Structure 1
Amino acid sequence: MGRTAGRTPQDTRRALLDAAADVVRARGIHASLDEIARFAGVSKGGLIYHFASKDELILELARDQLAAFQASIDAALDPSDTAPGRLTRAYIRAALTPAQDDVTLRESLALVVQLMTLPAVAELARADAEQMDAALAADGLPPELLALVVAAADGMSTAPLWGASTQTPAHRRLAQQLVYLTRHPHLWETLTP
């Protein structure tokens, strides 16, 4: 199968990443390059033209997932917010106000779980987490408050893995309360022993 008419190399690369995500979600991390190529509508040679190996494809898929979350944080930054905790508030909004429904979010989380079984992806994610932790630590909030709100946001964002919804009024209220705490860190001091 040759190049699909009208598809740019960037379009083909995107189709391959999307196909890899779908196939890995459905078949697991051991899905073959043949399956991914077929799902993307390209030949295996076309896939290898863009990604020299399955490892390269999987690492790029992981980078793509990490970049998508970073883009959601960037989109959640409030340009008028210049107070300490600005990045943390964007992180909370990105983690707890997903643009996806619960089923799509559960599928995205399942993909990340599959990808994280590979040591190279786990290392990539660890390095990304270190960068995010450093950026959040420089955001101007007390370290204990930062740890609390980030842990709460991270935990709440995985609710669909356990069958819970991220679309409930209680979930939205808790997200608002976490943001509120970042705007009023003095309240945190009254809660700590």
Structure 2
Amino acid sequence: MGRTAGRSPEDTRRALLESAGEVIRTRGLNASLDDIARHAGVSKGGLIYHFASKDELLLELARSVLARFRDDVAARLDPADDAPGRFTRAYIRALLAPVEDEVAARREMALISQLSTVPAVAALVAADTTELNDEFAADGLPPDVLTLVTAAADGVSIAPMWGGTVATADHRELEKRLIQLTRRPELWQSLPWTP
């Protein structure tokens, strides 16, 4: 079949990645290239034109998921904020932002979890995590404050995976308080249980 009429190569590639995500979420990593191509409305040859192998497709799918999150963090950087912790605040905002479609958020988390079982994807995720940790280290916050606020945001952000939500007033208050800790790290250091 080749390229579907009316679709640009970029549109076809995007459709293939979306289809791969949907098929893998429902059928698992054993889903075939035929299944993915059929779901995207292209021939297997059309899929192979864009992605030479299933491994290449899975890697690109993982890259797209990671890039969406990185884009979300970048979009939440405050251009007027030049104080230490600027990147960390954007990260907190991205993780704790109310999600319009919590089912889609849950699917995205499940997808990256499944993809991370593929060794090449696990290596990609590890490299992305190292890069993220380097950005945190350069952000200028005391390590204990950074650990506290990122661990809290990371933990709360996975609530949709278990059927929870991050769209409550309590979550907005938590986001506000975590951001306050990045602006005034001495608040954290003055707590009696600080080592």
TM range (shorter): over 0.9
**Alignment-mate amino acid for residue 91 of structure 1:** Y
Unaligned runs of 5+ in 1: none
Structure 1 counterpart of 2:48: 48
When normalised by structure 2's length, the TM-score is 0.96
Structure 2 counterpart of 1:126: 126
Q: 1:98–1:13: structure 2 CA closer, same or farther, 3 Å change rule?
A: farther
Cα deviation, residue 101, structure 1: 2.1
Aligned mates of 1:148, 1:38 — CA distance in 2: 46
Structure 2 counterpart of 1:92: 92
**Alignment-mate amino acid for residue 117 of structure 1:** T
Aligned mates of 1:141, 1:2 — CA distance in 2: 52
Q: 1:63–1:98: structure 2 CA closer, same or farther, 3 Å change rule?
A: farther
SS at match of 1:3: coil
Aligned mates of 2:15, 2:63 — CA distance in 1: 15
Structure 2 counterpart of 1:184: 184
Cα deviation, residue 100, structure 1: 3.8
Aligned mates of 1:140, 1:177 — CA distance in 2: 18
* RMSD value, Cα: 1.0
Deviation by residue 1:8-40 (Cα, 9 ceiling, x = unmatched) = 111100000010011111111111101100111
Aligned mates of 1:182, 1:46 — CA distance in 2: 49
Aligned mates of 1:102, 1:171 — CA distance in 2: 15
Identity of aligned residues (%): 62
Q: Between Structure 1 and Structure 2, how many residues are aligned?
A: 193
When normalised by structure 1's length, the TM-score is 0.97
The answer as to whether partners of 1:102 and 1:167 remain within 8 angstroms in 2 is no
Cα deviation, residue 177, structure 1: 1.0
Structure 1 counterpart of 2:58: 58
Structure 1 counterpart of 2:108: 108
